[in-house]
């Protein structure tokens, strides 16, 4: 069987060569931050100084990049989702279809607007929301569908758009992991009534924290503007210097979920490198797909309408193994030791996630029986549950490396899976 695995004290596959760091500041990022520092305006709520805010400039750049009419930057992807839900009319007691396999915010944002997330199963190959499962969950109380483009896959937008239209539901497209991906030749985030993005530290377009909601509907964009700026909206005309640029319209109460000028300026610079970095990731992912498929592994697939993928995470399904074989978590630990690269199982299903537990917060006990409707334990979604035990993933930064890096990853998989019987757990 050869040398011991690194997790057992053997020599790892990879030594002495670091993986690409993330985030990587784009050319001009430092100068952009210095511009804001000395501008006298660090927030869109600051007094008007006679110049267009960096937030407005980023909103215009990102809307143009996506080919959409309106972009409203927000403090986070979570803020973008919550404002999108409320802008689409989702509120107390409404049901919202969400994928059972996703980050906790897919459910907690729905609960956060006093609605009820209904977990539906995912396609076993793409790991994205299955249109048939979504349609089967629709009831008279359903108000919206939230679809997530997960890891490197684009969901079946044709099928989900059709379900939403048949039942008169809002479709909200969570594109937090898919900046720059395209479906039928159009950027994702533009197929839903609202598309939402996260610019968190881990994302392929990042300002550390941040987000955005995009739409072609001017009325929805105006509602989102109010919801993210304490009920205020940018004035139709530039005010006098020193006056507020945000107007207290009285149209809609909101909260403070604005993006700072520092983050906006950083995103203007980072957006210019997005396509080139995504191209590098795709090239390396295609090589790794081939190398792992030769070993009998199954890289995550994407929906047939996908015309360009974006890799937030590279995900791959392990080969079938005996019932007593070591868990995917044990395999991930061994791969991490071989590579010096964090490899993890994919998300736990939301109905089993420690991060989604509405009963832990009194704010969700809004009426008798509401917590029972929020209880995640009522769901059993087999494809989502199986994926959590069979798929592994690692961060997109590794795909910004060299061809040899992909061969290192493939060799680590070969070594670990050949010795899976030696692993415990």
Cβ within 8 Å of residue 412, ≥6 positions away: 13, 14, 335, 338, 339
Nearest residue to 62 (alpha-carbon basis) of 247, 360, 266: 266
Please compute Rg for the chain using Cα positions: 22
Nearest residue to 41 (alpha-carbon basis) of 240, 267, 262: 262
Site of tokens 């869109």: 44
DSSP code for 273: H
Residue 78, token pair as written in the block? 């979570």
Give me the numbers of helices (H) and strands (E) for the chain, helices first please: 12, 16
Q: How far is 164 from 146, CA to CA, in rounded Å?
A: 10
The count of other CB atoms within 10 Å of the CB of residue 3 is 11
The count of other CB atoms within 10 Å of the CB of residue 22 is 16
Nearest residue to 91 (alpha-carbon basis) of 148, 144, 147, 164: 144
User: Which residues are catalytically annotated?
Assistant: 203
Helix H or strand E encompassing 278: helix 261-293
Beta strands in 30-102, from DSSP E residues, in sequence order: 70-74, 95-99
Nearest residue to 332 (alpha-carbon basis) of 341, 323, 324: 341
Q: How far is 16 from 408, CA to CA, in rounded Å?
A: 13
Cis? peptide before 378, omega within 30° of 0: no
Q: How far is 18 from 290, CA to CA, in rounded Å?
A: 23
> Is residue 372 exposed (0-12), middle (13-18) or buried (19+ Cβ within 10 Å)?
exposed
- Intra-chain end-to-end CA distance of the chain, in Å: 20
Q: Which residues pair with 232 in a beta bridge?
A: 248
Residue pair 147/172 in contact (Cβ under 8 Å)? The answer is: yes
Residue pair 215/193 in contact (Cβ under 8 Å)? The answer is: yes
Q: How far is 208 from 199, CA to CA, in rounded Å?
A: 7
């Amino acid at each position: 069987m050869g040398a011991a695995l690194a997790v057992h004290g053997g020599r790892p596959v990879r030594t002495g060569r670091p993986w690409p760091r993330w985030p990587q500041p784009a050319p001009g990022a430092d100068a952009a931050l210095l511009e804001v520092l000395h501008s006298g305006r660090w927030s869109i709520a600051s007094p008007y100084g006679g110049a267009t805010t960096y937030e407005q400039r980023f909103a215009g750049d990102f809307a143009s990049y996506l080919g959409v009419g309106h972009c409203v930057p927000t403090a986070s992807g979570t803020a973008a989702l919550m404002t999108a839900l409320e802008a689409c009319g989702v509120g107390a007691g409404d049901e919202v279809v969400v994928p059972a396999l996703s980050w906790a915010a897919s459910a907690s944002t729905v609960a956060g607007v006093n609605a009820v997330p209904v977990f539906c199963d995912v396609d076993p190959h793409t790991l994205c929301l299955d249109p048939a499962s979504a349609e089967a969950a629709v009831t008279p109380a359903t108000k919206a569908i939230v679809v997530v483009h997960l890891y490197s896959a684009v969901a079946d937008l044709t099928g989900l758009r059709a379900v939403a239209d048949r039942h008169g539901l809002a479709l909200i497209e969570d594109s937090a992991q898919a900046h720059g991906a395209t479906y039928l030749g159009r950027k994702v985030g533009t197929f839903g009534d609202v598309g939402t993005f996260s610019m968190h530290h881990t994302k392929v377009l990042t300002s550390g924290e941040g987000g955005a909601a995009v739409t072609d509907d001017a009325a929805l964009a105006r509602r989102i503007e109010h919801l993210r700026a304490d009920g205020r909206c940018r004035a139709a005309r530039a005010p006098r210097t020193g006056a507020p640029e945000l107007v207290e319209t009285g149209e809609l109460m909101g909260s403070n979920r604005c993006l700072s000028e520092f983050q906006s300026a950083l995103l203007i610079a980072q957006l210019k490198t997005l396509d080139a970095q995504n191209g590098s990731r795709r090239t390396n992912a295609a090589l790794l797909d081939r190398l792992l498929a030769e070993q009998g592994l199954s890289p995550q697939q994407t929906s047939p309408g996908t015309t360009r993928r974006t890799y937030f995470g590279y995900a791959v399904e392990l080969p079938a193994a005996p019932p007593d074989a070591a868990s995917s978590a044990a395999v991930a630990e061994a791969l991490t030791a071989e590579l010096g690269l964090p490899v993890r199982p994919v998300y736990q299903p939301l109905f089993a996630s420690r991060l989604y537990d509405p009963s832990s917060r009194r704010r969700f006990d809004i009426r008798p029986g509401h917590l029972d409707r929020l209880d995640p334990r009522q769901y059993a979604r087999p494809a989502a549950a199986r994926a959590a035990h069979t798929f592994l993933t690692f961060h997109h930064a590794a795909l910004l490396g060299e061809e040899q890096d992909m061969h290192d990853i493939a060799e680590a998989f070969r070594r670990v899976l050949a010795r899976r019987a030696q692993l415990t757990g």
